[in-house]
Each structure stands twice: as structure tokens, then as C-alpha cells.
Chains A and B, each alone.
Chain A
């Protein structure tokens, strides 16, 4: 098998853009200057991002580099089912609009920087808050690792490879850059870099959507080349929801989970007002449109036949379908533009990876360090701890990628989605004045975690969908996260109702819901 060829022109363009964003990342510290020795400024950018900056920041945060590689890869290998990313990113906006401006306002009022902090204040429970905090950290770690996978694929496509330690050098350099600018500039760095990243992504996708169909003889030809079994979802047989159940629940479950991830929460809380969030719920779908076009690069890669081209065989051998988009970019574009496109993906990995490490650091500092290890920590101690944790978290993600096979990160991230959605009752229902009991929520969380993990284990962590057998021999395949969430909700609601029924009227007046300032 011939190795991937070094692409000097693409590499030069790529390196130039990478240096540009590095400089911008460091300069971010001075942008809208604030006291970076406080966590509020380092970890939340001082809650000063208006509509435009929030649009770029949330866009760069939610539509990650790994998404941009993995979604077309799924379309390439599995067909229509991979398009669930589009309904998923449609469904997030009604949720963003109706739920999160309220959370934003409450967090501003109480000075909260994280979701577990809100949960602790709302339910007056350190245990429930700790559960939400640990879930957030666990779910985010593999997500950061996957961003590095996205970067790895692009670096290989540029033809940079070596043996032994040299093989990992480019990734290590990118990592050091990422860690350094996050450490010095905090959330301002990804916010400023997101602008460049998004412009590059838009340019790449729009160019691909115009140039490649022209080359292949139009969109009709692209779709015509796809086998019927891949072009639409298979129609379910009798007594099963079949692929329809999987498609709809994957979209719905992923949408419900998205804003519970710490990095999404950080992006949301950094907005300057709830109004900015509501306005962005109408403006952010532009990214979903781009994601839809990008997903179809998977079909274009089939049309181009990159899977059979000998010059890309080494890439497919090592990265599987994840190499489809990089191979298509190399095949369809002149080298300089391939450099732009690869830079878009790599920089697209830096933005979410940076925000994720900041979000994890905020949670560790506010919800573990300050609550259990050092109550009464000063602002300076807080921000120092957070900066340190952001380094540790990224180092962990790097070690994860270098030591374990990529499939481990993917399987762990699949579990992360199932886990993070279990914080929904505490975070989202906590916004209501319902008298939910922290003990009931904690037990619901534990049941949801256990059931979801068991469902994933039953597929040997290969699939996120679980075939639920209902009475009457009816099978409902669906996203395990959503099924586990239903178990969680039932336990939390029923147990709360029981506990409330047996307590005295006097105890009911002392419920946290009565005392919390909504």
C-alpha cells in the first residue's frame, strides 16, 4: 500500500492559517479586557458576548470538527440514517428558545457559572450537584479526545507522518498551542478564533456544494449513484418501528442532551442577555443548513469513488470512513484550497476543545474544589485552579488518543451522550417551581445511568440504539439515552410525589422551591 503523499502547498496554507489563529488566540486576552484572575472573566468572558459574537461562539461550540468529519462519514458508510444530524440540529432551537434564557437569567442573578452550581442552589443539595458535576466532566472528556481525532485525520491527509514519536508530533504541537492560549486568554480565545473558523468552514462547504456537483454532472447524478438502500431509510416491517424509531429518537435525544453538555452551557451563560440567546435561536440554524450540505459530502465522496482510489487507501485503512471527507477534499480541490479546508477542520477542533476544557475546569473549580476541597477559596485561587485543571483535562484527552485506540474514544463518547441526558430532570425541570425532591432526582439519575449503560453494553458499546421489546411482540428500536431518560423521569417524579405526600404541611413550606429566587 502506498503511503499518503505530502501536500506541500496545502501544508503551507494550513500552517499559515494555524499561526494566524494562534496569534489571535493569545491576543484574545486583551480583547474586551477584564480581570482574567477571576473565574467569571477567564471562564465566562465576563458574560459580555452580544448577538454576533455569541452566534460565532455557539456555532463553533456546537458544530464541532468531529461532527464535520463523522457526519459525512456516517452518510458515506451507512447512508440516510446519518442525516439524523439535520433534524437533531433543527430540534435544538425550540429547546434553546424556550428553556435556556430562563436559566441564563437565574444564573446571572445568583452569579452561577455552571449547571451544577444552579442545581446546588435550587435544590439545596450538594450530593445532587456533585452527581451533575461528575456526569458533565465524564461526558466531556471523550468529546475533547474526539476533537483531537478530527485533527489527526486532517494531519494525515496533509501527508504528515513519521514513525514512533515523530508520528504524534504535529498533534502534540497543536495541543500545546491550544493549551497555551486557553490558559492565558480563557473563553475569549475560542470566541475570537471561532470567527475565523466559521468563515473558513462556510467558504469550504459552499465551495464544495457548488464545485463538486458541477464536476459530477449535477446533484441529480450524485443522488442517482447512491444505492436505493442507502438513499432513504428502510421501511419498517410489521411489529417494529424499525429505522424510523432509531432516526427520530436519535434526533430528539441528541437535541435534548446537547445543551446539558458543559461546553454548551458555558457558551450559553457567556451571552450578554437572554435576548441574545432567543435571537440566536433564530440565527443559529444557518449552521444546521451548512451541516446538511456537509453531510452530503459523504454521498459526493461515493460519487468521486475516493474509496477505490489507490492514493487514499492508506488513509481509509487507518481511519475508516472518517477519511472520506479529507480524501474528497484532496481529490476535488486545488492544493491551496485543500489547505484552507483542512485548516477549517483543524481550527474547528481547537474551538470546541478549548471551550470544553474551560467548561470542565469551571465545573471542577466551582462544584468540587470550592465545595469539598477548599471552601472559601479566593477569586485568585479559583482562577488559578481552573487554569490548571484546563491543562490537566487536555493532557488527559491527548493521552486518551495516543494510548487507546480511536474506537475507545468513540464508544466512550457514545456513553457520554447517554450519561449527560440524565442531568436533564435536575437542570431543566429545576427551572420550574415543581417541588421535586433532591433524593428522588438523585435516585432517578442513578437509575438512568445504570439502565442507559446496560443498554449500551448489550450492544457491546457499538450502537447507541437499543431494541426495546414491548408487550405484543412489538419492537421499538430507539436511542438508549432517551429510554434511560424516561426511566430516570418516572423514578424522579413518582418518588417526589410519594415523598411529598407523606411530609407534613409545615415541612412542605420549607421546600427549596419555596425559598429559591427564580
Chain B
């Protein structure tokens, strides 16, 4: 089987720990204020982390994927 170069784990992957810490530490966000467009902090903070997780994962993907051929598995 020919060896194809493939993306391996890099230090960029440590960024993926951020969302875990951000949502597992509940005392940090279990309050009503400050509100945003009427949303209590508890809700908008977690929704914000949905977006941030997507961005962080996207950044890690782009950084790790750079330089690999399109057919890299």
C-alpha cells in the first residue's frame, strides 16, 4: 500500500480544548445579566460558543489541512 501523506495531529489541536473548558465550567455563565437583545447571559453565552466552536474547529482544520493534496485521507 503506497503511503500517502496525511494530516496528523498538530499543536493547533489544543485549541479544541477551549470550547470544552468554556461550557463545562457552569458557574461562569449561570446568570441572567448582562443581557443581549433581551437574551439572558446563560443563553446567549452558550449560543455564542456554538459559533466560536465552529470557527475554532474551522481554523484547526485549515491549519492542519494546509499543504496536503486534495486526495489526502
In the assembled complex, A274 has its CB within 8 A of some CB on chain B = yes
Instruction: List, in ascending order, chain B residues with CB within 8 A of A281's CB.
Output: 57, 61
Select which of A105, A108, A223 is within 8 A of B40 by beta carbon: A223
In the assembled complex, B66 has its CB within 8 A of some CB on chain A = no
Proximity bits, B45-73, A CB within 8 Å = 1, else 0: 01101110111011011001100000111
Asked if B65 contacts A247 (CB within 8 A), the reply is no
Select which of B24, B42, B64 is within 8 A of A248 by beta carbon: B24
Instruction: List, in ascending order, chain B residues with CB within 8 A of A104's CB.
Output: 73
Proximity bits, A235-246, B CB within 8 Å = 1, else 0: 100000000100
Asked if A221 contacts B26 (CB within 8 A), the reply is no
A95 to B24, CA, bound (A): 14
Instruction: List, in ascending order, chain A residues with CB within 8 A of B54's CB.
Output: 93, 282-283, 285-286
Asked if B26 contacts A248 (CB within 8 A), the reply is yes
Instruction: List, in ascending order, chain A residues with CB within 8 A of B19's CB.
Output: 90-91, 93-94
Proximity bits, A93-125, B CB within 8 Å = 1, else 0: 110011001001100110000000000000000
**Interface size counted on chain B using CB atoms at 8 A:** 41
> Within the complex, what minimum Cβ distance (angstroms) separates B14 from chain A?
10
Instruction: List, in ascending order, chain B residues with CB within 8 A of A274's CB.
Output: 6, 73
Contacts A86-B46, A220-B38, A223-B40 given; does A97 touch B26 at CB 8 Å? no
In the assembled complex, B2 has its CB within 8 A of some CB on chain A = no
Q: Give A266-290 interface residues, CB cut-off 8 Å to B.
A: 273-275, 278-279, 281-283, 285-286, 288-289
**Interface size counted on chain A using CB atoms at 8 A:** 47
Contacts A108-B73, A273-B73, A275-B73 given; does A87 touch B57 at CB 8 Å? no
Which residue of chain B is the closest to A219 with respect to CB atoms? Answer: B38
> Within the complex, what minimum Cβ distance (angstroms) separates A105 from chain B?
6
A251 to B58, CA, bound (A): 22
Which residue of chain A is the closest to B42 with respect to CB atoms? Answer: A232
Contacts A80-B42, A83-B42 given; does A288 touch B31 at CB 8 Å? no
> Within the complex, what minimum Cβ distance (angstroms) separates A72 from chain B?
13
Select which of A91, A108, A247, A278 is within 8 A of B26 by beta carbon: A247
Of B7, B35, B53, chain A has the most CB atoms within 10 Å of the CB of B53
Given contacts A232-B31, A247-B26, A275-B65, 5 further A-B contacts (CB under 8 A): A90-B53, A219-B38, A220-B38, A251-B23, A296-B43
Q: Can you identify 23 A-B contacts, CB atoms within 8 angstroms?
A: A83-B43, A86-B50, A87-B46, A89-B50, A93-B54, A94-B19, A94-B20, A97-B57, A101-B73, A109-B1, A222-B38, A223-B35, A223-B43, A244-B27, A247-B26, A251-B23, A273-B72, A278-B64, A279-B61, A281-B57, A282-B58, A285-B57, A288-B53
- Chain B residues at the A interface, C-beta cutoff of 8 Å: 1, 6-7, 9, 13, 16-17, 19-20, 23-27, 30-32, 35, 37-40, 42-43, 46-47, 49-51, 53-55, 57-58, 60-61, 64-65, 71-73
- Chain A residues at the B interface, C-beta cutoff of 8 Å: 80, 83, 86-87, 89-91, 93-94, 97-98, 101, 104-105, 108-109, 218-224, 228, 231-233, 235, 244, 247-248, 251-252, 273-275, 278-279, 281-283, 285-286, 288-289, 292, 296
